[in-house]
Amino acid sequence: MSTPMITTQNLSISYWSKNKRVEALQDISLTINAGEFVTLIGPSGCGKSTLLNVIAGLIRPGTDVKGTFNNSGIKEIGYLFQKQTLLPWRTVLGNVTAPLEIRGVPRNEGREKALALLAKYGLYGFEQSFPRELSGGMQQRVLLIRTLIYEPDVVLLDEPLSSLDAQTRALLQDEFLRLWRDTGCTFILVTHDLDEAIALSQRVFLLSSRPGKIVKEFQIELPTERSAIAIRTDPRFQKIQREMWSDLTAQVLQQQDRGFALFKT
């Protein structure tokens, strides 16, 4: 039986910017179950990050919220976003133990846990290195370990790989799958990369251009034990990819038409 962790019902979110109302999300109804890997995709500015923030309970004052959302199934959230960086003055080990220090976990206990995780995820020997001595991919892996060390039950990933080259990205996608399977944690990813969405997720929500509405939900029926790289040659992957591209293109064209109409008036 799947346990709902997050539910939203007819959720609409607007911001006030320079006395103008900007409707970011409209009528979002979804359920995310504990332990799922779910991805949000959609054209730029359609409200993906806004939805992630709502899920995290991070709603700025002055934001207009209509409808309901319930995230009471979440006890502890991990959040990893694109521009997040490591603390440059701390070693890899010092970075990974930081969240535990904040939570008052005894130093030795935190250290042991961090060392075990670093070894498990390919960073053995780099414990005393400083972030500047690591490649971008390694830094991202340290960030992910730092997010997971306090055992959140949900990890929100807002385009965490978008600044990396294609090869590093593909390797880290596999790492994400492995961490998701190992931890049993719920992963919610925002990405612009359709292949990444299909390679990693169990379900993908496609949002329309702003105000973001759910236009389609894709069930990704691919084996859980998969390689994010090898799965791309699977005919089932390619079938979903074609369908998703055609739906996303339709959304982007609609957005352009609207922009053009606006330009003409």
Question: Cα–Cα distance between 23 and 12 in angstroms, integer?
Answer: 8
Smallest separation, CB 236 to ligand ATP (Å)? 27
Please say whether the beta carbons of 247 and 216 come within 8 A: yes
Closest CB to ligand ATP among 15 and 150?
A: 15
Give the up-direction half-sphere exposure of residue 212: CA atoms within 13 A in the CB hemisphere. 24
Closest CB to ligand ATP among 123 and 157?
A: 157
Query: Helix, strand or coil for residue 108?
Result: helix
Closest CB to ligand ATP among 46 and 204?
A: 46
Categorise residue 42: left if φ over 0, alpha if ψ from -120 to 50, beta otherwise: left
Give the up-direction half-sphere exposure of residue 196: CA atoms within 13 A in the CB hemisphere. 26
Closest CB to ligand ATP among 46 and 206?
A: 46
Question: Cα–Cα distance between 19 and 159 in angstroms, integer?
Answer: 30
Tokens 């019902």 belong to residue = 9
Closest CB to ligand ATP among 40 and 93?
A: 40
Smallest separation, CB 170 to ligand ATP (Å)? 21
Smallest separation, CB 229 to ligand ATP (Å)? 25
Smallest separation, CB 24 to ligand ATP (Å)? 4
Smallest separation, CB 61 to ligand ATP (Å)? 10
Closest CB to ligand ATP among 169 and 210?
A: 210
Closest CB to ligand ATP among 141 and 210?
A: 210
Question: Cα–Cα distance between 196 and 170 in angstroms, integer?
Answer: 8
Question: Cα–Cα distance between 8 and 6 in angstroms, integer?
Answer: 7
DSSP 8-state assignment for residue 115? H
Smallest separation, CB 15 to ligand ATP (Å)? 3
What residues line the site for ligand ATP (CB under 6 A)?
15, 17, 22, 24, 42, 44-50, 60, 210
Residue 225 host element (H or E)? none
Contacts of 20 (CB under 8 A, 6+ apart): none
